[in-house]
Chains A and B, each alone.
Chain A
Amino acid sequence: MKFIAKKPREGINVSDEHPLVEAGTLVVGLTAIFIVIALLLVFIVEIALYFVPAETEAELFWDWIPEDLVTVSPNDERLYRTQLLVDRLVDHWADAPYDFRVEIDDSSVANAMALPGGLIIVTQGLLDQVESENELAFVLGHELGHFRNRDHLRALGRGVVMGLFFAVITGNDVAGLGIKATDITVRGFGRKQESKADEFGLAIVHSEYGHVNQASRLFERWNETNQSTSAFVAYLSTHPQPGDRVADLRAIAERDGWQIDGEISQLNWDRN
């Protein structure tokens, strides 16, 4: 046999498709698929919520508190007063599904959360900030609004379902899921849910005081102190812009004929 020097044609083992084309199709295709799956999962959660009535939720969560919560002592005056305020507000809510408990989170960041089982958490920071009882009442009423719309369960459900989906896809440890699921908090609430909760809060404040003075004071204060962010970032955030919330609340008050002026109830943290 004879040797003849030859070499093969170039490009047989490489495809001539530009890598960016492959990258582009993959990204677009996968995004589309994920959006569809996400919508499907949200739908599944909605159906599941229908089958978990409030009674079951009360049974399961009635004394549950998140593990990493730093609470104040049960004798705390503000805790006592806030619980009283909540009870007064709930009196105006005919179909309240269960009893509501208040816990105070020892954090200096102003925040309030609605958690499964009727647990309302407010932070020290929030209590430091509010200037009147009306203002606090609106915040609590807003959280009650979340409970009425079962938003807290929705967030929990979506968190669990999404977590499960991604664990299966990426093969992560499923045990860690249980831990993650119990830590799901209000971050999952959507902007529409926030608006609905705002509306309920305003209504319940009106029922208690006969007017809605100071109800949107918290947002007005935030609006004044916050630097305005770009429209894109505002879209991505989980809450509506404070300025928008103030405007929406004014519009609701006008629509329902509620007075914005009225006697402001002062905060009274003393036990007597």
Chain B
Amino acid sequence: MNVSSTHSIVISNTESIPGRNIVEFYGVVTGNTVRAKHVGRDIMAGLKNIVGGELRGYTELLQDSRKEATERMIEQAASMGANAVVNVRFATSSISQGAAELFAYGTAVRVS
């Protein structure tokens, strides 16, 4: 979903947006994706386990997941009329074999 690129929502993992004041706060917003890797990546990872080094396939996979989760979180904030999300945190967990959930959450606020 590319909707967030049209919003001008600022996010940060600090208590407040640096240099600005929180005027109103609304509540927790979350963004969520569950992705599965495919066999190709699995096989490459298996081979990499022997030689070591970066698993580039997985890096890309998780980067895309994180981007998507963040965009969903921002979309939730935008639907509340917020213009910033503070105290953003990420969480990754494995839901079942081969599927990882990526999770972003923060608080939707309006900053000055």
Judge A-B direct contact (beta carbons within 8 Å).
Answer: yes
Chain A residues with CB under 8 Å of chain B are: 1-9, 12-13, 168-169, 171
Q: A8-B29, A168-B39 are in contact. List 9 more A-B contacts (CB 8 A).
A: A1-B24, A3-B25, A3-B26, A5-B26, A6-B81, A9-B76, A9-B79, A12-B31, A13-B76
Q: Which residues of B contact A13 (CB under 8 A)?
A: 30-32, 72, 76
| Chain A positions within 8 Å of B108 at CB level | 6, 8
A1-B24, A2-B24, A13-B72 as given contacts; A7 in contact with B42, CB under 8 Å: no
Interface membership of B99, Cβ < 8 A = no
**19 A/B residue pairs, CB under 8 Å, sorted by A:** A1-B22, A1-B109, A2-B25, A3-B25, A3-B26, A4-B25, A6-B108, A8-B29, A8-B79, A8-B80, A9-B75, A9-B79, A12-B72, A12-B76, A13-B72, A168-B39, A169-B39, A171-B42, A171-B46
* A7:B23 contact, CB within 8 angstroms: no
Contact among B21, B24, B43, B75 for A168, CB-based, below 8 A: B43
Of all chain A residues, which has the CB nearest B28? Answer: A8
Residue of B with least CB distance to A170: B39
The residue on A at minimum CB distance from B98 is A171
Q: Interface centre among A9, A12, A169, A171, by most B CB within 10 Å?
A: A12
From B43, B46, B79, B81, contact of A12 by CB (8 A): B79
Cα–Cα distance between A208 and B75 once the two chains are bound (Å): 84
Contacts A12-B76, A13-B72, A168-B43: A6 and B27 contacting too (C-beta < 8 A)? yes
Point out the residues of chain A lying under 8 angstroms from B76, CB to CB.
8-9, 12-13
Bound: A1/B23 CA distance, A: 4
4 shortest A-B CB distances, which residue pairs? A8-B76, A9-B79, A6-B26, A6-B80
Does the CB pair A4–B26 fall under 8 Å? yes
Contact code string B97-112 (vs A, CB < 8 Å = 1, else 0): 0000000000011000
Q: How far is the CA of A7 from the CA of B27 in the complex (A)?
A: 7
Contact of B75 among A5, A7, A12 (CB under 8 A): A12
Q: Cβ of A168: which chain B residues have Cβ within 8 Å of it?
A: 39, 43
B residues 30-69 in Cβ contact with A at 8 Å: 30-32, 39, 42-43, 46
CB neighbours of B75 from chain A (8 A)? 9, 12
| A171, B79: Cα distance in complex, Å | 44
Distance in angstroms from A190 CB to nearest chain B CB is 28
Task: Write out the residue numbers on chain A whose beta carbons fall within 8 Å of the beta carbon of B39.
Answer: 168-169
Q: How far is the CB of A77 from chain B (nearest CB, A)?
A: 55
Q: Shortest beta-carbon distance, B48 to chain A, in Å? A: 15
A138 to B79, CA, bound (A): 80
Residues of A contacting B23 with CB < 8 Å?
A: 1-2
CB distance from A223 to the nearest CB of B (A): 46
C-alpha spacing A8/B81, complex, angstroms? 9
CA distance A247 to B95 in the complex (A): 58
* A3/B24 contact (C-beta < 8 A), A8-B80, A9-B79, A12-B72 known: yes
Question: Does chain A have a CB within 8 A of B17?
Answer: no
Give bound CA distance, A1 to B81, whole Å.
Answer: 16
A158 to B9, CA, bound (A): 58
A171 to B43, CA, bound (A): 9
**A4 CA to B46 CA in the complex, in Å?**
51
CB distance from B88 to the nearest CB of A (A): 15
- Is there an interface contact between A4 and B79, defined as CB atoms closer than 8 Å? no
Given A8-B29, A13-B32: A1 in contact with B21 (beta carbons within 8 A): yes
Q: How far is the CB of B1 from chain A (nearest CB, A)?
A: 8
